[in-house]
Structure 1
Amino acid sequence: MVTSSFPTFVAVFALITLQVGTQDSFMAAVYEHAVILPNRTKTPVSQEDALNLMNKNIDILERAIKKAAEQGARIIVTPEDALYGWEFTRETVFPYLEDIPDPQVNWIPCQDSHRFGHTPVQARLSCLAKNNSIYVLANLGDKKPCNSRHSTCPPNGYFQYNTNVVYNPEGKLVARYHKYHLYAEPQFDVPEKPELVTFNTTFGRFGIFTCFDIFFYDPAVILVKDFHVDTILFPTAWTNVLPLLTAIEFHSAWAMGMGVNLLAANIHHVSLNMTGSGIYAPNGPKVYHYDMKTESGKLLLSEVDSHHLPSPAPTAVNWSAYATTIKPFPVQKSTFRGFISRDGFNFTELFENAGNLTVCQKELCCHLSYRMLQKEENEVYVLGAFTGLHGRRRREYWQVCTMLKCKTTDLTTCGRPVETASTRFEMFSLSGTFGTKYVFPEVLLTEIHLSPGKFEVLKDGRLVNKNGSSGPILTVSLFGRWYTKDSFHSSSGTSNSAITYLLIFILIMIIALQNIVLV
């Protein structure tokens, strides 16, 4: 394997050659799945019982895959943990695992299911892709034998990985990704390095990562910045956390902030606040789903642009340009401290129907200009600023500017989850003196709705509304991630396609040299 320090110009050069004849758009699908969970047990079930449960879930996924293909979808993403759920120990998950080979082995499990041992799940998923002529991403568990020569080999003699696989329309395994940033997953191991997994199609270039990976630089940002993918495939088992981290809110913001498509498939499990899937483009959501009322899955489809290397490249947003050049608005004497989750924000109240406010925390100052259509007497809004290491574990460095509705008129409730609002804004403009260029714009409306087409980010870093008022607002936020200030730094990732780039580059050079000799 070659590390991600492989020269970017080679990757771009090879990418250009691979994209000749690429289609401008494609139909994409994601499926939010109400997973059938196993009974809780402290002892492992039999492999037969594990397979029976997984097949019940695949039966449901099969119907979604067939329906997506019938409606013209070229690719479908299914959720993380969709085959068996998440409540396991290392021992109890083991019957659900299969040995998943490197895609370079050139394997169609549907035609040769025993080549790598007992792989009935991979064979069935491969056949679903082949029989419906569609790319299928699924999430399952991989097991890799190890021994005492591996200093970190677990006691049971296997590494166990949370894994995404992709099969092409011929049923061939074309991608495998081991999740790196695990979140409360004692059943799985962390890979030695983050993997940078991409694959090419006639309708674009795709990258893959899973759930909690989206918060980190490696692999998520590197796939976009250095490997120039058009679309991210993103299976997740996401628990919604208001006011800043509902699935539809943050995932659509990440797609906008990074300038790529994001196909996000979430688990549907209402009692754990799991819902929220979507097909998100750089200019906003194409389609999304959020449902806390039913226990049903949902198939989403949308036509998506293939965003190739534009020429000339669009001008990047300078997230601090406006905020660092204006004279700060008067800082309110009534600034107070409050909390969103465990993070201490500095807040100031929006007392008037319209105004200009600034609130600061350390080096971050957040500026807001606003005008309400009518201020509801029983609703309080505040402007908040936070910069620092986030949460209980204090690992990720956040910079956040947010205007949000408080739960009640009691200011101590500001930052607590709230789902409904009545106040409409005729105008808002939010900006901040961010120290990072990775900022994700969020607008969340009452009853957990997005606001497609109703806001935009200006090149100077202002998040502003457009086309007049939208629905009643819960939050308007600029969510920044300052990766270099995280309390840990992951190793450079490994790329499954870097070798391909190198071979293509060498081939092109050989052809060029042959032409020179002939001349």
Structure 2
Amino acid sequence: MKGVSAVLFALFLAIQHKPILAYKAAVLEYYPETGESPQATIKKNIEAYSTYADKAKSQSADILVFPEYGLTTIVSDPTDYAVDLTDDKTDSVLTKLSNMALERQIYMVVNLLEKEQESKTATKYYNTDLVLDKNGAVILKYRKINLFQEDMLTPGDANQTQTFTTTFGVTFGIFTGYDILFDNPSRKVFKSSDVTDIVYPSAWTSFMPFLTSLSTQQGYTTANGINLLAASYGKPKEGHGGSGIFLPNGKAAELYIADSASSKVVIQEVTKISSREEKSVCSGRTPFGLPGDLNKSNVTNYKTNKIFDSSRYKFEKVDMSLNNSTLEVCHCDFCCTFDIILSESFVHSSAIYKVAAFDGIVEIDDTNHHVRICSLLACENDSNDSCGNRLESTNTKFTKLTVKGNLKREDKTFYVPITVDAFLLPIQQTKFCNNHNETNSAYVELTTLQAQADVLVFGLLGKTVSAASSVHALGFFVLVAFTILKLVVF
């Protein structure tokens, strides 16, 4: 009997110390409420947050991510909305948030506007994320570094801490909205080799063809081989919305996008990973032609403006009468190749697709950057200007798509996938690799694994680490900076 007891006791200990292989994540797509005053607006939204925190906790979520500008609505003047984080009164915003996390024993990531008094006459304002642990303590404060048309805010310190480790054994990185386009912080965060997951509050505004919300999130996740928890501001009629929990292989545990202002908490189990998924190995053969996913979203009223100057791109038209074709397109000496297999029974006679390439200097808020793009684009008609338009359907199915090339990276260009279908969803059934062993070039490839219908965008977007010295060719980013007349926050 003693021997049996010892075995049972050992088994009990093994169960008690079994490693946790997954955690429960929650992200909130949220359309904020508005009160009669800034303080009333914040109060209403804190009360709403409390309800969503209850929903997350009822499903055993370990961490809940709220969106950018969720407490305040998107405002150009932060003066009356900003919070003094040194205020520890019982009715302060910080105290309410702290109690919310403590009472539910859940990690929370909350974005707010912060004010910091520098002197009697000088106040600085920041776009700030707070990470609260299960005890309600603020374990990290991250201030958004890359602001876009947030003229009254101060950028965060470029060298600030942007990682935290949880009691459920995951080390997260954090950044906000527009930050995702920049090496600092979106790539710099991986200087800590322990970072495997990212929390991402956003109030992104979607633009066709290369800057839609879910495509940007999925492309970043796929290229970096991490888990991403993305929570977005939900106002589709102004181009805001698109949240999800993304996995290292580019698939999503769950996505949410709507065509009307709405709020929804997305909760899914996320498998823990010990390190970022390796993307440097390009397998020789990949399966293809399997039926694609049938999930579709209603995005009829989701507004997407278009930012695309076709005169600066080089195009090649796809011959839709060929079931199997290979095209190379070059802009100067930047070239990429497309392998295209069409589904014979699902090709509309009027469908027009072109492949495009761009390699040039673009300007983002008075700073010059180098951007490289190779993409298949659906076109409304033969005009290059019509390529990249939002189309309800193309009535065309591809059995397989591949974009590839030995692409330049002498300036440490980092490539990410960009894919969009007619429902503003990214293409999840893909294989991506970036074999960047060479000093001045990298073999980059993106291939579909399943048949895909209604494809609007399928390509690669390369962004360099350092700013360029002069503007000799302007692309889509410069149009963002100078053609949007009202406040748009990414």
TM-score range (shorter-chain normalised) is: 0.7 to 0.9
8 Å CA contact retained: 1:31, 1:277: yes
CA offsets, 1:376-424, max 9 Å, x none?
Answer: 2222101011112235656332111100101334343123343532211
The alignment partner of 1:219 has SS state of: helix
Is this contact kept in 1: 2:111–2:129, CA < 8 A? yes
Find the aligned partners of 1:486 and 1:38 in 2 and give their Cα distance.
Answer: 45
TM, length-normalised to structure 2 = 0.79
**1:365 corresponds to which letter in structure 2?**
C
Find runs of 4+ consecutive structure 1 residues off by over 4 angstroms: 391-394, 485-488
Q: 2:70, 2:307 → 1: CA distance?
A: 30
Q: How does 1:124-203 map to 2 (within 5 A)?
A: 124-147=96-119, 156-201=121-166, 202-203=168-169
Out of 415, 422, 427, the residue aligned to residue 388 of structure 2 is 415
Indicate the larger mover: 241-250 or 370-379: 370-379
CA 302–486 in structure 1, closer or farther in 2 if over 3 Å, else same: farther
- Name the Cα RMSD after superposition: 2.7
Rounded Cα–Cα distance in structure 1 between residues aligned with 2:212 and 2:139: 31
2:253 corresponds to which residue? Answer: 286
Query: What amino acid maps onto 1:389 in structure 2?
Result: I
Query: TM-score, normalising length from structure 1?
Result: 0.74
Equivalent in the alignment of 2:206: 240
Note the alpha carbon deviations across 1:48-104, whole angstroms, 9 max, x for none.
Answer: x32221011122221111101111110011110001122232xxx223222226xxx
Task: In structure 1, list runs of 5 or more residues that go unmatched.
Answer: 1-19, 40-48, 102-108, 149-155, 323-338, 489-519
8 Å contact 2:407–2:444 — kept in the other structure? no
Give the whole-Å Cα distance in 1 for the aligned partners of 2:142 and 2:362.
27
Q: Which one of 169, 173, 184 corresponds to residue 207 of structure 1?
A: 173
Equivalent pairs counted in the alignment come to: 415
Match of 1:63, SS? helix
Matched residue SS, 2:94 = helix
Task: Confirm or deny that 1:364 pairs with 2:339.
Answer: no
Contact 1:32 1:298 in 2 (8 A): yes
- Asked whether the 8 Å contact 2:158–2:184 carries over to 1, the reply is no
Within a 5 Å distance, the mapping from 1:255-294 to structure 2 comes to 255-284=221-250, 285-292=252-259, 294=260
In the alignment, is residue 231 of structure 1 matched against residue 197 of structure 2?
yes
Displacement after TM superposition at 1:462 (Å): 1.8
Q: 2:50 aligns with which of 27, 38, 62?
A: 62
Q: Measure the CA separation in 1 of the matches of 2:245 and 2:124.
A: 33
The aligned residue for residue 485 of structure 2 is none
Q: State the distance in 1 between where 2:364 and 2:388 align.
A: 16
For residue 29 of structure 1, the aligned residue among 26, 35, 58 is 26
1:400 aligns with 2:369: no
Taking the aligned partners of 1:317 and 1:186, their CA distance within structure 2 comes to 43
Q: CA deviation at 1:259?
A: 1.2
2: CA distance, partners of 1:31 / 1:69: 13
Aligned to 2:219: 253
Query: In the superposition, relative to structure 1, how do residues 37 and 382 fare at CA in structure 2: closer, same or farther (>3 Å)?
Result: farther
Instruction: Evaluate the alpha carbon distance shift between residue 192 and residue 466 of structure 1 in structure 2; reply closer, same or farther with a 3 A threshold.
Output: closer
**Percent of paired sites with the same residue:** 25
Larger displacement relative to structure 2 (426-435 or 261-270): 426-435
Separation in structure 2 between the aligned mates of residue 416 and residue 451 of structure 1, nearest angstrom: 17
Q: Is the 8 A contact 1:364 1:433 kept in 2?
A: no
* Counterpart in the other structure of 1:465: 448
- Aligned counterpart, 1:307: 273
2:54 aligns to what SS in structure 1?
helix
Kept in 2, the 8 Å contact 1:276–1:288? The answer is yes
Q: Could you tell me how far apart the structure 1 residues matched to 2:92 and 2:457 are?
A: 46
Measure, in 1, the Cα distance between the counterparts of 2:282 and 2:34: 46
Alpha-carbon distance in 2 for matches of 1:433, 1:364: 9
Aligned mates of 1:194, 1:486 — CA distance in 2? 21
Q: Contact between 1:419 and 1:448, CA under 8 Å: does it hold in 2?
A: no
Question: Alpha carbons of 1:87 and 1:98: their partners in 2 closer, same or farther (altered >3 Å)?
Answer: closer
Q: Structure 1's 268 and 487: CA in aligned 2 closer, same or farther, altered over 3 A?
A: farther
Q: How far apart are the structure 1 equivalents of 2:80 and 2:279?
A: 51
SS at structure 1 position matched to 2:96: helix
C-alpha displacement of 1:228: 3.4
User: Which structure shows the bigger proportion of residues in strand conformation?
Assistant: 2
Decide whether aligned partners of structure 1 residues 22 and 97 sit closer, same or farther in structure 2, where only a CA change above 3 A counts: farther
Listed as ranges, the gaps of 5+ residues in structure 2 are 1-16, 286-305, 436-442, 471-490
Contact kept? 1:224, 1:258, Cα under 8 Å: no
**Structure 2 CA distance, aligned partners of 1:434 and 1:346?**
16
Matches within 5 A, 1:303-382: 303-309=269-275, 314=278, 316-317=280-281, 341-342=308-309, 344-352=312-320, 353=322, 354-373=324-343, 374-382=346-354
